[in-house]
């Protein structure tokens, strides 16, 4: 079962838990649907598709944070996600801010829901620090430089004038959405929280991840993977780690997810903030 906003990447009605991927700025559900195929059938996986891309290409872009969050909540309710089984929200970059704010709203609407949050490649920003700051409007050239720094857009896409114009437009919208989300209050969230990043992410160094401990009621577990901003599509340890976190919500002991990592990986996995 799918929705116009949330798409089923692995439709498993008998699965023990559900996982919802929320994509990065300028992105779509496509790469996350591929990542979902590396997870076992014990998890039913859904992917967010923001307007203006993928299957929603013809819909107008939307940078209204409240409207986007309500759209996600409505889709979660229509699909009955988290109603009868645990739900893990996993957001990458822009998706991390969406996941955090979605979790807050779900806690208010359904406090009994078994919910967890994975925040990936997004540094913590205190909304107090953003008060009174004018929101910057980046030029096309600045957005292109930003895309090159993130190293997530194929060079051939940026070389094509029509595709470049489209990508820049989507990215500009998503940066506006990101700024609006970052400025929202971040009271402590009382659900299990996990943060992850790449050891060579030149946009979000590991030191910026730790600030999220201020936004959760309980200690966070951090994991650092090999790679840059889009480490999660390159490091084959990511899927087992995500599966282990989902299993913690259900009490499952999945042998694939819980396979013993190296000593270095064990140290990183167990780092509590």
Tell me which residue of 50, 6, 25 sits closest to 230, measured CA to CA.
25
Under 8 Å between Cβ of 241 and 269: yes
Please tell me the distance from the alpha carbon of residue 209 to that of residue 199, in angstroms, as a whole number: 11
Q: Which of 31, 38, 36 is nearest to 19 (CA)?
A: 36
Q: Domain for residue 144, yes or no?
A: yes
Task: Give, in order, the Cα–Cα distances in Å from 182 to each of 94, 174, 176.
Answer: 9, 12, 10
Task: Write b or e for each residue in 35-51: b if 16 or more Cβ atoms lie within 10 A of its Cβ, otherwise e.
Answer: bbeebbebbbbbbbbbb
Kindly give the interhelix angle for 140-150 and 161-182, rounded to the nearest 10 degrees: 80
**What's the number of domains the chain is made of?**
1
62 in any annotated domain: yes
- How far CA 180 is from CA of 61, 65, 133, 136, 255, in Å, comes to 15, 6, 12, 12, 41
> What's the mean pLDDT in 212-216?
97
Taking phi over 0 as left and psi of -120 to 50 as alpha, with beta for the rest, 26 belongs to: left
Q: At 117, which CATH number?
A: 3.40.50.1820
Q: Which residues sit opposite 143 in a β-bridge?
A: none
Domain annotation covers residue 232 = yes
Alpha-carbon distance of 262 to 246, in angstroms, equals 21
Structural domain contains residue 166:
yes
Confidence of residue 261 (pLDDT cuts 50, 70, 90): very low
Asked whether residue 126 carries a pLDDT value surpassing 70, the answer given is yes
Per residue in 136-180, pLDDT (tens digit) is 678 999 999 888 888 778 888 888 899 999 999 999 999 999 999
Mean residue pLDDT of the chain comes to: 89
Q: Which residue from 259, 195, 193 is spatially nearest to 223, judged by alpha carbons?
A: 195
Evaluate whether residue 1 is within a structural domain. no
SS3 22: strand
Span 24-80, pLDDT tens digits: 999 999 999 999 999 999 999 999 999 999 989 999 999 999 999 999 999 999 999
Q: Would 147 be classed as within a structural domain?
A: yes
Structural domain including 207 reads 6-272
At 155 the pLDDT is 83
pLDDT of residue 133: 66
């Amino acid at each position: 079962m799918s929705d116009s906003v949330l798409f089923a990447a692995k439709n498993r009605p008998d699965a023990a838990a559900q996982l919802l991927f929320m994509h990065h700025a300028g992105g779509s559900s496509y790469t996350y649907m591929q990542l979902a195929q590396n997870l076992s059938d014990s998890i039913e996986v859904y992917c967010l598709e923001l307007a203006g891309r993928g299957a929603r290409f013809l819909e107008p872009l939307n940078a209204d944070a409240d409207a986007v969050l309500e759209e996600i909540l409505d889709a979660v309710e229509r699909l009955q996600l988290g109603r009868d089984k645990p739900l893990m929200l996993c957001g990458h970059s822009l998706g991390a801010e969406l996941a955090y704010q979605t979790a807050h709203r779900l806690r208010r609407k359904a406090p009994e829901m078994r919910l967890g949050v994975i925040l990936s490649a997004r540094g913590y920003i205190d909304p107090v620090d953003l008060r009174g700051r004018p929101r910057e409007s980046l030029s096309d050239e600045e957005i292109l430089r930003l895309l090159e720094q993130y190293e997530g857009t194929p060079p051939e896409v940026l070389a094509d004038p029509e595709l470049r114009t489209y990508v820049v437009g989507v990215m500009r919208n998503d940066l506006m959405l990101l700024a609006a989300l970052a400025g929202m209050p971040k009271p402590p969230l009382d659900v299990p929280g996990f943060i992850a990043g790449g050891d060579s992410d030149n946009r979000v160094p590991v030191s910026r991840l730790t600030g999220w401990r201020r936004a959760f009621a309980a200690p966070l577990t951090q994991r650092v993977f090999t790679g840059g901003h889009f480490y999660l599509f390159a490091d084959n340890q990511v899927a087992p780690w995500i599966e282990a976190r989902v299993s913690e919500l259900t009490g499952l002991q999945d042998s694939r997810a819980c396979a013993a990592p190296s000593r270095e990986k064990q140290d990183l996995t167990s780092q509590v903030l």
